Chains A and B, each alone.
Chain A
Amino acid sequence: MHSGSELTSTLFGFDPMWISSLILIATYAAIMSEKINRAIVALLGAGVMILFGVLNQEMAVKGVDFNTIALLTGMMIIVSVTRKSGVFQYVAIWSAKQVKANPAGILLMLQVVTAVFSALLDNVTTVLLIVPVTMVICEELKIKPYPVLVAEIFASNIGGTATLIGDPPNIIIGSATGLTFNDFVMNLAPVIIVIQLVTCAIFHVMWGRKLHAAPENRARVMSFNENEAITDRRLLKQSLSVIFFVILGFILARPLHLEPGTIAMFGAAVLMLLANLGRDAETQSHEVHHTFTEVEWITIFFFVGLFMVVSGVEHAGVLKMLAEYLIAATGGDLTITAIAILWSSAILSAVIDNIPFVATMIPLIKNMAPTFGGPEGLLPLWWSLSLGACLGGNGTLIGASANLTVAGLAERAGTRFSFVTYMKVAFPIMLVSIVISTAYVWWRFL
């Protein structure tokens, strides 16, 4: 934590605490308004932070967590190359056929597939790959796709919570705290499995048991040839091998003394090398260029700008002050603080972007270390923040990027998603997941 005395002098001698707070609030407000692209907002916020002298350029660059940036970019490249093989469609169709194209079974299986993919890949990519197959299956079965799509939104956000790489909040938390892939799996996966099972049961009772398809329509899905979904077997083998070794790398990151960002970026480079072996220079340039265009640069630059904005308020001492207020409000009680973070993260993440929220909360929580006996004492708070921020995103249609992606794709195919209709169903189910998380955090960590 840096004190205010380390700061460069601010423009017009403004109080750095006030000016950095105003910039943070204005950035949040602009992101929430969705009137201006969030990457533009974050970069503008970062620029204003420097222009006002809250940060100098060196401090701003230091504020960017390049491990998070490398991890996100590396995984985006790996997924971009892998998706060309058709493996995701293969698994979705295969799973639908395992339940004999029974609609209730498909509802269940597609949730499981989405949750598993989301745990290993980013959520938006997962739903981008799963939704078109889902729409085709539902059309062939002549059932409404809405229940399946809502269940997939939940599965994507729930599954993503289980691992370090599953959801951006976890990536930021892991990178900022040194918590490893294994730490996330050991501490979060058990409760995530329970939450996913409960959610599957809720969706079955609510929708699954009422879904019926005529035998001839089920036969049409059973006639799908999943092998035809595999478009490039060589690439499939290469991609799965690289993903296997990247995940192995995440598991062994601590003994290998490697950061996840290095592992992901190295894996991305190896996969691009394998995929381009034997191609001439021009084709390689074309393929690599295409792969790079698939990286979500809006997200990457959003992170860069956001890290700088948060770094500004951190350097100004705002987050230390907020941490002291929070500790005073909870009486320095770890249980109350953990539960407060879990619930406030969940509720706020349902209505605001959870990435800036988590980015702001991390230094705030770090400031509580002296009260709770050092960094080790903060572990319950990190797990509470992760569970709240990731699962809270299910509460409304704007709660997570994956939700908006599914809604956008569905509307292009004629299935309407309304904010209120979705929230009426989703918010109570999200609260159920937070109740389960509360019991788990209390039982396991407090």
Chain B
Amino acid sequence: MTCRSIMNVNPPKLLCSSTVAEALGLLRWENRMNLPVVDAKGQYAGLFGAHQILMLALPKGACIDDKQGFAYVTDTQKDITNRLQGVAHHPVERYMDSESPPLHPDMPLVETMLTLYRRHEDLPVIDPETRQLLGIVTIRSSLGKLMVQS
């Protein structure tokens, strides 16, 4: 078995030009932790999701050193909302994760599961030749499919 066997085809996706506000709306509507981002040609460009939104909600300095605590900052919920509103109209292309490698459809199943386990997030599946987005493997649906098969 390969990654293809647990992949969901035609997943909801964002465009590079989609705004942060649109992305947040789609994430909530689809009840997803993240979504793949594609360019105008349908080629995979990156991932955008809760991690990026949390980063945008935090003070900028807080995200550049993951070893420092920021308990001294006294921001309120309103401050955090204001911070998000400041970037609501920015394209997701600016903040998406374009460095983490996507999955390939012929990746062995165990390797796919291991990648899910290590990355703790839903992962896109792309054609390695054309970089076209083929589908997505979500932690929830992959567990569901495997349980049904067992």
Residues of A participating in the B interface, judged by any CB pair closer than 8 Å: 83-84, 86, 89, 93, 128-129, 131-137, 139-140, 220, 223-229, 231, 409, 412-414
Contacts and interface: CB of A to CB of B under 8 A. Distances in A.
Find the residue from B59, B63, B68, B70 having the highest chain A CB count within 10 A: B68
Interface of B: 59-65, 67-74
Given A136-B73, A413-B64, 11 more contacts: A86-B69, A89-B72, A136-B59, A137-B61, A140-B73, A225-B74, A228-B71, A228-B72, A409-B64, A412-B63, A413-B60
A229 B61 contact: no
Given A220-B74, A223-B74, A225-B74, A131 B69 contact: no
A229 B59 CA distance: 15
A132 B74 contact: no
Contacts of B73: 136, 140, 224
Contacts of A133: 61, 68
**8 tightest A-B contacts by CB?**
A135-B61, A136-B61, A413-B60, A228-B71, A132-B61, A228-B72, A136-B59, A132-B65
Contacts of A89: 68-69, 72
Contacts of A86: 68-69
- If over half of B's interface residues share one DSSP class (helix, strand or loop), that class is named, otherwise mixed; here it is loop
B15 to A, nearest CB: 22
Contacts of B61: 131-137, 139, 413
Nearest to B59: A136
Given A83-B67, A132-B65, A93 B59 contact: no
A139 B75 CA distance: 12
Contacts of B62: 132, 136
A412 B65 CA distance: 10
B52 to A, nearest CB: 13
B109 to A, nearest CB: 32
A80 to B, nearest CB: 10
B20 to A, nearest CB: 14
Contacts of A409: 64-65
A143 to B, nearest CB: 13
Contacts of B60: 135-136, 139, 413-414
A131 B64 contact: yes
A136 B60 CA distance: 6
Contacts of B65: 128, 131-132, 409
Nearest to A408: B64
A409 B65 CA distance: 8
A135 B74 contact: no
B75 to A, nearest CB: 8
Contacts of A226: 72
A287 to B, nearest CB: 14
Contacts of A83: 67
Given A139-B59, A224-B74, A412 B69 contact: no
A227 B67 CA distance: 18
Find the residue from B59, B60, B62 having the highest chain A CB count within 10 A: B60
Given A409-B64, A409-B65, A224 B59 contact: no
Contacts of B64: 131-132, 135, 409, 412-413
A224 B73 CA distance: 5
Contacts of A135: 59-61, 64
A413 B74 contact: no
